[in-house]
Homo-oligomer: A and B are copies of this chain.
Amino acid sequence: MGRRSDHSREELQAMIIEATLTLVRDRGADKVTARQIATAVGYTPGMLYSVFINLQDIFLHVNEIGLRTLHALCAEAVSENATPEEAIKAMGLAYLRFAGTHTHQFDLMFTRSIQQPEMPPPGLDNQIRTLFELVEFQLRRLNASATDEEVHLGARALWSGVHGTAALRLSDQLYLDAPDADRDIVELLVTSFVQYWRA
């Protein structure tokens, strides 16, 4: 059969990404196949390649969504009149919570083998940067006399800790006594860094 034209190109693109997202959420990215995605949207595998370059390209677009929601969750986590320290803690815990609830998605976003794509979807980098900026903003509030470079570095140090906690916990490599001790780790990390940052 030829053209069905039930859907425009953009609709198809959205459907594919949406379908892939739910498949990833259910079974994890490495169990998601092109044929699964195709049947999920009611087409044949070949069609996918008229909309995307390849599977990796689709996953990249799925990650774009993941980063958006992760950013939103972190931003929402800080309450109106929170101190900078509270804000950073809240964001760190939100990050951790996302990793715990959207396990497979987080896995696809971060703990996947390293191979830079030919043409990364625009705005993917900037979105990660935006995440850092949330922390940078609070660090500035906390210490107005810090230089740009100090803020830049501080945010990355702090966030490396949060990310590392989430990543190691996800792969069960933290060897914690209590099951939710990862939250304690993030709080400890933030407390100690903020105390240093103030001085």
A172 and B107 contacting across the interface, CB-CB below 8 Å: no
Interface size on A, residues (CB 8 A): 50
Please classify the interface of chain A as helix (H, G, I), strand (E, B), loop, or mixed, using the class held by over half of its residues. Answer: helix
What is the CB-to-nearest-CB distance from A163 to chain B, in angstroms, rounded to a whole number?
4
Any B CB within 8 A of the CB of A189? yes
What is the CB-to-nearest-CB distance from A190 to chain B, in angstroms, rounded to a whole number?
10
Q: Give 22 CB contacts A-B under 8 Å.
A: A28-B113, A30-B115, A110-B171, A111-B112, A112-B112, A112-B113, A125-B175, A153-B188, A156-B165, A156-B168, A156-B174, A159-B164, A159-B168, A160-B164, A160-B165, A160-B185, A161-B161, A161-B164, A161-B189, A163-B167, A164-B164, A195-B195
Q: What residues make up the interface of A, taking CB atoms closer than 8 Å to B?
A: 28-30, 103, 107, 110-116, 125, 128-129, 132, 149, 152-154, 156-157, 159-165, 167-168, 170-177, 181, 184-185, 188-189, 191-193, 195-197
